[in-house]
Structure 1
Amino acid sequence: MKAIVCCLLAFWCYHDVNAQKNAPPGQTVKGSVTDVQSNAPLSGVTIVITSMTPQKGTAADHNGRFILTDIPVGRHTLKATLLGYEPVLISNFEVTAGKEVVLDITLKENVQKLNTVVVAAPSKNDPINELAQVSARQMNIEEGVRYAGTRNDPSRMAQNFAGVVGSNDASNDIIIRGNSPYGVLWRLEGIDIPNPNHFSSLSATGGPVSMLNSNTLKNSDFLTSAFPATYGNALAGVFDLRLRNGNRDKYEYLAQVGFNGFEGAAEGPISKKNGSSFLIDYRFSLIAVVQALGLKVGTGSNIPNYQDLNFKLDLPTQRSGTFSIIGLGGLSSINFKADPDNTDILYGANDRDRKYRSNTGILGLTHTYTFNAATYGRAFAAFSLAQNTADEKIIAEGKEPQQAADLDFKQLKYSAGYLLNHKFSASNQLTTSVSADLLQLNLHQRTIKKGDALISELVNTDQKAILYKASANWQHFFNDDITMNTGVYAQYFGLNNTYAVEPRWNMKFRLGNGHALTAGAGMHSQLQPLVVYFYEGKDANNKSWLPNKALDFTRSIHTVLGYDAMLGRHLHLKLETYYQHLYDVPVEITPSSFSMLNTGAVFGFSEQSDFVNKGIGRNYGVELTLEKYLQQGFYFLFTQSVFNSEYRGSDLIWRNTAFNTQYVTNFLIGKEWPLSSTFSIGADSKLSYAGGQWYTAYDVPATIDKGYIVYQNQDAFAQRNPAYFRWDLKLSFKWDQPRMTQKFFVDLQNLTFRKNLYMKDINVKTGEIKNVNQIGFFPNFNYQITF
């Protein structure tokens, strides 16, 4: 360690002496300004870099575009003003030598037309979608990458927010306010997409490694409750993601290596004349190398392989608006060998060979057209593929391998839709949308059910189904301080002719001096995991039928109250309390503790096949966020959530859900030090403390007697894991050189070597129960160069 410190000091001394001689030239800051309600470009907006002495500014042209050149590297603040609009301040954005800065700025028109309007600066985390007034925040991707322990994964960034907890270290599942991670809606560029993770499945929304790439994303929205009418088919929350455009003026490149893989990216103009651009990024798995070094990353001794591709083409036209083509795809596979000694069976088994494959692809075309200064429309067409295959064989000494299970799930989805937005005045705006998803389902699964000796069919279907969706939202500003949204969302599932009509409402009341009250309520519904509809059962004549095909949506009612306060220009306080009632939840016909609300608690899915919509559940709690925005290189984020999550199955007994950790505390803090005009270092730390998850104990005598795992289901989720604690520390270095920027960090995860319990496993022959722990100490390295 002393040698490393001496080397760093020597490098700093050498670098400081030569910093001025090798200082990079000034960088370009550019972007566009639009009206937040109508999406129309705003000309004449004054743009000023206030962090420079003297200040430097310009005005947006007739297309709302601006450009500022020769901006020194470092942190800067920009202010955008236009008469009749609320000013916007973008604080502490980073300017580097290796890449131009592109900013998308939106301004909101003042309702009260006064000669001089003084408006308190809004929270920088206000969502991009202004229809979301409660339980929503904007995720700043650049700042999120700074957080320790996130592995550059947007899902793990979101796990630091109030009301959110991860399921375990090996997965990026997002558990929101005690809901199943299956209740999260993923949206990319306005298109609802399948699970965007490697090793994904049709009944999950998380995975061990994300296919999303922080290098291609721009600021996005994260919503945790009572979301507005523009979102649907979700019970827990929404991750509304946006891809950035490539640089329309010059070619730029990125190379990176880290936990997520070897990575290369390129962007630049397709045609400088019309402003079209491209952005493409490819990654290939690094995990195999990490495993070869003897370090575990959450999969035991098994080696996951994966690769992914992200791209976006931005194609503006002179008369027809802007076309965009987006793509996201990933391939992943892993093999688990039987472990007879029961020494390393995380996701595996002591007597099974298991092979998993997953392929995901998304291709979308969007078209945005501004009809006039008050109206714009946005159309999309998309295709997606989500496919999972699994093969499981029983390995017994002296015997031929026996097929225990095989699975091939493939979902092809063809989507199309249109959104129309009209701004009647500064006080009134109407947003409407219609869309449809055509689902081509090829679902085949066989398994040896518990107690059986032969393999039998569980799912076998090749069928189409259509989900229709529509929404309307009216936004009204009573004045500059009071905003209200009222809307309705509706969906219809053609497979079984079920439908839902869901009113939504939210309101924000600014009290002055940076204080505000918020409230929201709404009905929300979600389809069941599609596989569930096609579970096969036997009727009275022993003929196969689909007992779950008529299942209705799971439904819920959300209510939220909140309080926001800017305690200073850079210090934000937020309090929220909520109650969520869930009903029409699938449970078993015969009295039992099973409920679909626990979907995602374990890998795979249960063998139950005969459900009715008679279950209920409830989630309620209080959340606190105290955030010091990045200023002079320093920030902190403290979140505290206290909640309860319970359900009732068909046995009419109230129980904890599998996700009822009851409390979670996160504290993040970071500081960066510019050692010279071109070299800086940073340190970021994260402490997490959460209640243990609930689980169902094994019935040991019955397990030994039957030769397969039997649970004490009459006492479901009555046992609890110990509390979870983890400390991560991240050290980073940045060096700006002429036309190039290098960044390096080492993220020391679980610095205290704490053995957080992942699960308990049982040997079905001996009844021996052992603890399987989560990630141990794991140093995550990342190096990036942009030029």
Structure 2
Amino acid sequence: MVRISILVALFVGFLAQAQYGVIRGTVVDKHSEKVIEGAIITLLNTTNIESVSDKDGNFILAKVPLGRQAIRVTMLGYESSTYPEIDVMTGKDVLLTIALTEKFNSLDEVVIKSDGNNKAKSINKLAAVSVRQFSPEEVNRYAGGRSDVARLASNFAGVSTADDSRNDIVVRGNSPTGLLWRLEGVPIPSPNHFSTLGTTGGPVSALNPNLLANSDFMTSAFPAEYGNALGGVFDLGLRKGNNKEYEYTVGLAAFPGAEFMAEGPLGKKGGSFLVAGRYGIVGVLGLAGTAAQPNYNDISFNLDFGKFRWGKFSLFGILGNSNIDLIGKDVELSSDDLFATRDEDGFVTSGFGVIGLKHTLDVGSQSYLKTVISTSTSTETFERDRYFNLETPNEFKIRWTEVDNTESRFTFSTLFNSKISKKITFRTGLLIENFSLENKLFDRDRQDDNNGDGQPDFVNLINNDGTFSIIQPYAMGQFRLSDKLTFNAGLHGQYFSLNEEFVFEPRTALTYAINSKSSVNIGYGLHHQNVAAPLLFLNENINGSLVQSNKNLDLVRSSHYVLGYDLRFADKWRAKVEVYYQAIDKAAVEKTPSSYSSLTEGADFGFSIDKNSLVSTGKGFNQGIEFTLEKFFSKGYNLLFTSSIFESKYKGSDGIERNSPFNNGYVVNVLAGKEFKIGKTKKNVFSINTKFTTAGGRYFTPVDLAASIAAGYEIRDDANAFSEQYDPYLRLDLKFGFKFNSSKKKCSHQFYIDFQNITNNRNVFSRDYNRLTQQVNQID
């Protein structure tokens, strides 16, 4: 269907002189992350607007003309940096953190310039390959993005989404379960509404992009700082609030809903607060993809208490709740409802929360120690009742499924970073996660009738109340061997308490600058990840006793190899090619020959409930080539073209090589945007953004219709697992926006109309067995 998302946002402040804006920020050394005093910040294309960073690295440019502006930052002994196309508006100060790189040779008389706003470079200075920086502005700018960072990442090379109903992302053919979410340096559960245990995505994101700072997304051979992930890493940071003025934002949109945000100064130590709350309204607008009314809300905050003699402290957090009642009789028999069926009632609740305290302490002039203590929780309940003899005098219903999951996590992370010299940076740290799981699953699906009541027994498949720990030490360094050659190397360790396995993982990357416009990157990394908890804690009835026969499965192992070429062939233009190969082993498979592998799990709300006594002998591989052509936003327009050709295969215990469900084969994205200055003073903006995506269809296992009719429930033809492919995916989105800067008050207004899937292409959601019609139905 064509889906329309409308956003109305209002920015309000309390300052006069509305015809101008303000650019403020902090200048730091990229490798030591220490503030730089004496840097000169100049507003380009104008005169007499300049600032010098103070002893705390802070600067301010006042009375900046509205619209897109550029600044240049210079400092003796450092490469100068230019930040172009800064969006200056009324009612909201622009806050920047500017990182300068020390010149390799201080005697070099050549002035080296870099684009400080280059998204091709990562925030993490030790990430060299398969990494892309993204900004909150990008999340909100692109058409069809729903203010969701995961949907933004699906536009990058090597990344795709499982389908339109959820924001699970597939990185280079890996299951979405291979993704690691990090916030402020600590791992967190899936930050999504209606999320379930073991998954990394959901229908609606609980992350508010208006609170995010520029962040990194990685797709392969991660630095040694990151562990317990096979596919990708979201390394998210929260921005600080305005510590000089109070600012407020009010917004209304189909996605993510109604929003209110406030920020301003906090305390007398230069601190700030930033807090935002959102309430979902998509169900009211009829855009939820189901007849039921989804309810969700979230609140996010970042409290920076400023700088004290004993260091800097900040408190951050995100809290979200969601629920939906799926009533079967509200659904038509032939309906293509994505989540509800005619003969079932479902009641879903979920919650997500993370709260952390961060402390940063300077150690000498070139080092710091950062420590984060956090606690997080993810809850999920699901109750399903099934009707029999539907709409007859003998109609009755019974409880069919009950799920009650709570995952609590306490995390301690400490990191020591030292810039030993302009050529060597060293980082080491320790991450400790202690998990507490309370998981219960009762189900009648595919169970025998041992008690003779005419219905499948209500069997306790998961009943876990326990704890386990993951401990990850690491050390790494960056060595600038010459002005053209940079070498990164590190070692990551991982201990998993359930099976008492400890592994070492070498990571390395080499970057060679052929000239000022092109470079070659080579990367390697060994990575491990535990099998998803819903599989580890499945119960198996052995001689009348329930046994968790998957609990001692090995960590799944993956080796990443990457070769890339990066070319800056024109100002603000970039082309990049990457070739990769990923070898996976120790995946969980069945003892007896079958097509099953844990590598095929994770692109839905649940996991298999009948896979017991698994062994760690499964294998798989992902390989492909990616191309990116990007025009960073400048001169009023931007362009992003990405394409990937890849192959994702796996072997179950039967030894047959098969397509994985994530083997789309190809993905192509084209995103473009243009801004037009309007109004008498040209201070207002009209924008057009569009996105086109096409991809090969997902592979799936066909339904064995005769066996399903005989059994009364869906049975897949596992002998031909993932042998059939859905039709290719195609979608075109179009977004129009207006931005009005008030000429009398310091406030601005932004209006967006987002048309999604304007070609009305019916992309396949699934092909499932319908118990009522005894047919295989396709849901689009």
TM-score bracket, normalised by the shorter chain, equals over 0.9
DSSP 3-state at the match of 1:602: coil
**Contact 2:229 2:528 (8 Å CA) reproduced:** yes
Matched, 1:369 2:375: no
Give distance in 1, aligned partners of 2:447 and 2:112. 69
Match of 1:726 in 2: 731
Cα displacement (A) at 1:90: 1.1
**Contact 1:704 1:766 (8 Å CA) reproduced:** no
Cα displacement (A) at 1:345: 3.8
Match of 1:753 in 2: 760
Equivalent residues, number? 744
1:40 to 10, 30, 34: 34
Q: Which amino acid aligns with 1:511?
A: I
Cα displacement (A) at 1:766: 4.2
Cα-to-partner distance string for 1:218-254 (whole Å, 9 max, x where unaligned): 1100000001001111000100111111110111000
Give distance in 2, aligned partners of 1:474 and 1:80. 27
Matched, 1:636 2:639: yes
1:715 to 712, 720, 730: 720
Match of 2:704 in 1: 699
Cα displacement (A) at 1:481: 1.6
**Contact 1:451 1:706 (8 Å CA) reproduced:** no
How many percent identity over aligned positions? 38
Give distance in 2, aligned partners of 1:628 and 1:23. 34
**Contact 1:121 1:514 (8 Å CA) reproduced:** no
Match of 2:12 in 1: none
Give distance in 2, aligned partners of 1:93 and 1:635. 14
DSSP 3-state at the match of 1:414: strand
DSSP 3-state at the match of 1:156: helix
Give distance in 1, aligned partners of 2:545 and 2:408. 29
Match of 2:294 in 1: 304
Match of 1:89 in 2: 82
Listed as ranges, the gaps of 5+ residues in structure 1 are 1-21, 774-787
Match of 1:62 in 2: 55
Give distance in 1, aligned partners of 2:358 and 2:21. 31
**Contact 1:120 1:513 (8 Å CA) reproduced:** no
Matched, 1:741 2:748: yes
Q: Which amino acid aligns with 2:488?
A: N
Cα-to-partner distance string for 1:366-395 (whole Å, 9 max, x where unaligned): 001112221101001000010111101111
Give distance in 2, aligned partners of 1:359 and 1:694. 32
Matched, 1:319 2:332: no
Cα displacement (A) at 1:602: 3.3
Give distance in 1, aligned partners of 2:374 and 2:607. 29
Match of 1:468 in 2: 471
Cα displacement (A) at 1:613: 0.6
Match of 1:333 in 2: 323
**Contact 2:82 2:113 (8 Å CA) reproduced:** no
DSSP 3-state at the match of 1:585: strand
Match of 1:16 in 2: none
Match of 2:378 in 1: 386
2:521 to 518, 534, 544: 518
**Contact 2:80 2:113 (8 Å CA) reproduced:** no
Matched, 1:177 2:172: yes
Match of 2:556 in 1: 554
1:72 to 65, 78, 82: 65
Give distance in 2, aligned partners of 1:529 and 1:115. 53
**Contact 1:120 1:514 (8 Å CA) reproduced:** no
Matched, 1:687 2:689: no
Cα-to-partner distance string for 1:592-640 (whole Å, 9 max, x where unaligned): 1111111123331112122111000000000000001111111110001
DSSP 3-state at the match of 1:754: coil
Matched, 1:605 2:599: no
Q: Which amino acid aligns with 2:284?
A: V
Match of 2:425 in 1: 429
Matched, 1:167 2:167: no
1:188 to 155, 170, 183: 183
**Contact 1:628 1:635 (8 Å CA) reproduced:** yes
Give distance in 2, aligned partners of 1:423 and 1:513. 25
Equivalent residue runs for 1:655-670 within 5 Å: 655-670=658-673
Matched, 1:352 2:357: no
Match of 2:8 in 1: none
**Contact 1:39 1:370 (8 Å CA) reproduced:** no
Q: Which amino acid aligns with 1:249?
A: K
Equivalent residue runs for 1:573-584 within 5 Å: 573-584=575-586
Distance 1:114 1:534, change over 3 A: same
**Contact 2:283 2:292 (8 Å CA) reproduced:** no
Cα displacement (A) at 1:37: 1.1
Distance 1:537 1:368, change over 3 A: same
Give distance in 1, aligned partners of 2:222 and 2:763. 34
**Contact 2:323 2:350 (8 Å CA) reproduced:** yes
Q: Which range moved further: 137-146 or 616-625?
A: 137-146
**Contact 1:704 1:765 (8 Å CA) reproduced:** no
Q: Which amino acid aligns with 1:566?
A: R
Give distance in 1, aligned partners of 2:192 and 2:628. 28
**Contact 1:301 1:344 (8 Å CA) reproduced:** no
**Contact 2:439 2:465 (8 Å CA) reproduced:** yes
Cα displacement (A) at 1:422: 1.2
Cα-to-partner distance string for 1:647-666 (whole Å, 9 max, x where unaligned): 00011100010010010000
DSSP 3-state at the match of 1:714: helix
Cα-to-partner distance string for 1:288-316 (whole Å, 9 max, x where unaligned): 2212xxxx433x21221100000000012
Cα displacement (A) at 1:55: 5.7
Q: Which range moved further: 312-321 or 339-348?
A: 339-348
RMSD of aligned alpha carbons: 1.4
Runs ≥4 residues deviating over 4 A: none
1:245 to 240, 247, 250: 240
Q: Which amino acid aligns with 1:401?
A: K
Give distance in 2, aligned partners of 1:340 and 1:249. 56
**Contact 2:240 2:273 (8 Å CA) reproduced:** yes
**Contact 2:535 2:607 (8 Å CA) reproduced:** no
Q: Which amino acid aligns with 1:56?
A: I
DSSP 3-state at the match of 2:209: coil
Cα displacement (A) at 1:461: 1.4
DSSP 3-state at the match of 1:501: strand
Equivalent residue runs for 1:14-163 within 5 Å: 24-50=18-44, 52-54=45-47, 56-119=49-112, 121=114, 123-163=118-158
Cα displacement (A) at 1:668: 0.8
Equivalent residue runs for 1:216-235 within 5 Å: 216-235=211-230
Matched, 1:395 2:390: no
Match of 1:596 in 2: 598
**Contact 2:199 2:605 (8 Å CA) reproduced:** no
Cα displacement (A) at 1:347: 2.0
Give distance in 2, aligned partners of 1:646 and 1:37. 40
Match of 2:275 in 1: 280
DSSP 3-state at the match of 2:237: strand
DSSP 3-state at the match of 1:155: helix
Give distance in 2, aligned partners of 1:53 and 1:104. 22
Q: Which amino acid aligns with 1:64?
A: G
DSSP 3-state at the match of 1:489: strand
2:441 to 441, 445, 453: 445
DSSP 3-state at the match of 1:659: coil
Equivalent residue runs for 1:507-546 within 5 Å: 507-539=510-542, 541-546=543-548
Give distance in 2, aligned partners of 1:554 and 1:656. 19
DSSP 3-state at the match of 1:215: helix
DSSP 3-state at the match of 1:531: helix
Cα displacement (A) at 1:564: 0.5
Q: Which amino acid aligns with 2:238?
A: L
Matched, 1:764 2:755: no
Cα-to-partner distance string for 1:695-746 (whole Å, 9 max, x where unaligned): 0100001111110101100000001000011111100000001200100010
Give distance in 2, aligned partners of 1:211 and 1:685. 24
Give distance in 2, aligned partners of 1:321 and 1:480. 34
Cα displacement (A) at 1:542: 2.9
DSSP 3-state at the match of 2:198: coil
DSSP 3-state at the match of 1:392: strand
Q: TM-score, normalised by structure 2?
A: 0.94
Cα displacement (A) at 1:765: 4.9
